[in-house]
Amino acid sequence: MSGRELLRASDSVGRLGGDEFAVVLSGLSSPDEATTVAEKIVDAVSTPINVDGHEFQIGCSIGIAVAPVHGTEPTQLLQRADVAMYVAKAGEASVAVYTPAADVARIARLALIGELRQAIVGEQLVLHYQPIIDLRTGELARVEALVRWNHPTRGLVMPDDFIPTAEQAGIIMPLTTWALRDALRQSRLWHSEGINIPVAVNISAQTLHDPRLVATVEEWYAGPTTPGPLELEITESAVLSDPDAAVVVLARLVAKGVRIAIDDFGTGYSSLAQLKRLPVHSVKVDKSFVAEMHTDRRDASIVQTVIHLSHTLGLDVVAEGVETEKAADHLTRLGCDYGQGWHFGVALPAVDMTAVLLNSAQSRDRDELESF
Ligand code: C2E
Ligand code: CA
Ligand code: CA
């Protein structure tokens, strides 16, 4: 059944623009009735369709505003239905009814997007660097660049509070480009100071398939001085949402000498076998498995299996969220290659990380001299 067939002759459907439609239902007595119709529309729209033998399925989110409770003016009703639609989009359900609380959240969200745009161009973002340790030698093997927002009034804001909004609002690409350039600038600076440490940068799903990513990396590598080695951390869902396109992009990056790590491994639905055909070097086991390893035998066996299979495929393994010595020892016994977490060190501003790197280089030199 098409969406139109669910409606009565007195109802109307109009296209507001792009992929947005408005449905006006008349003579309803409660928001619940509108919700029932909306749910039927969602079901009808999401019925798979067949085009030239290929099956397609689309989804939709519906926001509801009801007169006179939510307003009597058409523009106000439309705007409030729009607010509810964003609630539906962000949540689990496909249908949401307007509430004044959602309006407050929407205004806050719009303010955040505006401020974030400013932050990207206004030098309010800053990268902190967290060490990744070689579990066999205990040496600092590489660092991961993690973005923070130095907000003028809220202080240091962590990425979980703004990266998802940046992704939804379509401004993750400028943020990623900034992070990539800043990490490469720092890497070049370290390189010039004799510190040759690989730097890992996080890449969001949408960014992987944006041509500007490869362009930024290529442009940087074509520059006058070489930065140190670069690694890109990409979540498994980003790679597997379009594996054919991912192979092409990753191959171009790898050709430039970039290493690829699959981030948050285990949280998506992929198997390591699916990664086999991708030019990938590392797998980062998600911290949720590492944190529960001692108390949950299933988590311990997941970590063990990921280590084993990754090695079979020639990939090295990084365990995230290593918070205790016990966890570090356990991972080392399991043959895990690298560890990252509070046990080894939190993410630090570049100056502090420089001191740590110089220190670890000095102690390495000392060890080498002593063994000589
Ligand atoms: P992630 O890539 O999984 O990064 C690791 C997160 O775990 C970091 O949180 C780090 O501070 C935290 N962490 C480190 N050690 C431990 C530990 O022992 N225990 C626990 N529980 N957590 C630990 P952070 O810095 O808040 O970053 C959160 C997420 O934000 C990152 O998760 C990443 O997905 C995203 N993110 C950070 N920087 C960037 C960026 O420049 N670009 C993009 N696209 N995403 C970023
Ligand atoms: Ca990461
Ligand atoms: Ca991660």
Q: In ligand 1, which atom is closest to the CA atom of 347?
A: 11
Residues facing 203 on adjacent strands: 234
Residue count of the chain: 372
Residue 4 has a pLDDT of: 62
Residue 369 has a pLDDT of: 67
Q: Burial-class residue 95 by CB neighbours within 10 Å (0-12, 13-18, 19+).
A: buried
DSSP-derived secondary structure letter, 8: -
Residue 119 has a pLDDT of: 95
Residue 133 has a pLDDT of: 98
Give the ligand with the smallest distance to the CA of 203: 1
Can you tell me the distance from the alpha carbon of 12 to that of 69, in angstroms, rounded to the nearest whole number? 20
Residue 9 has a pLDDT of: 82
Ligand 1 proximal residues by C-beta, below 6 Å? 130, 146-147, 158-160, 163, 176, 179, 202, 204, 233, 263-264, 287, 320-323, 341-342, 347
Ion ligand 3 neighbours (CB, 5 A) are 263-264, 320
Cα three-residue angle 247-253-257, rounded to 5 degrees: 130
Q: In ligand 1, which atom is closest to the CA atom of 201?
A: 41
Give the ligand with the smallest distance to the CA of 233: 2
CB 71 within 8 A of CB 53: no
Residue 347 has a pLDDT of: 98
Report which protein residue has its CA nearest ligand 1's atom 20. Answer: 321
Place of tokens 């498994």: 236
Can you tell me the distance from the alpha carbon of 240 to that of 269, in angstroms, rounded to the nearest whole number? 9
**CB-based contacts of 132, cutoff 8 Å, min separation 6:** 140, 141, 142, 143, 144, 200, 318, 338, 339, 340, 344
Q: Is the pTM of this model over 0.85?
A: no
Q: In ligand 1, which atom is closest to the CA atom of 159?
A: 30
Q: In ligand 1, which atom is closest to the CA atom of 163?
A: 45
Cα of 146 from ligand 1 centre, angstroms = 6
Cα of 284 from ligand 3 centre, angstroms = 7
The H-assigned helical ranges of 145-242 are 163-168, 172-192, 205-208, 211-221, 236-240
Q: What is the pLDDT along the chain (372 residues), one digit of tens a residue?
A: 555 677 888 888 888 876 788 999 988 878 899 999 999 999 998 888 887 777 777 889 999 999 998 999 999 999 899 889 988 887 778 999 999 888 888 888 888 999 999 999 999 999 999 999 999 999 999 999 999 999 999 999 999 999 988 988 889 999 999 999 999 999 999 999 999 999 999 998 889 988 899 999 988 888 777 778 999 999 887 887 788 889 999 999 999 999 999 999 988 766 777 788 889 999 999 999 998 888 888 989 999 999 999 999 999 999 999 999 999 999 999 999 999 999 999 999 999 999 999 988 777 777 776 766
Q: Strand, helix or coil at 98?
A: coil
Ligand 1 pocket test: which of 124, 202, 236, 289 has the largest number of ligand atoms within 8 Å of its C-beta?
Answer: 202
Residue 234 has a pLDDT of: 94
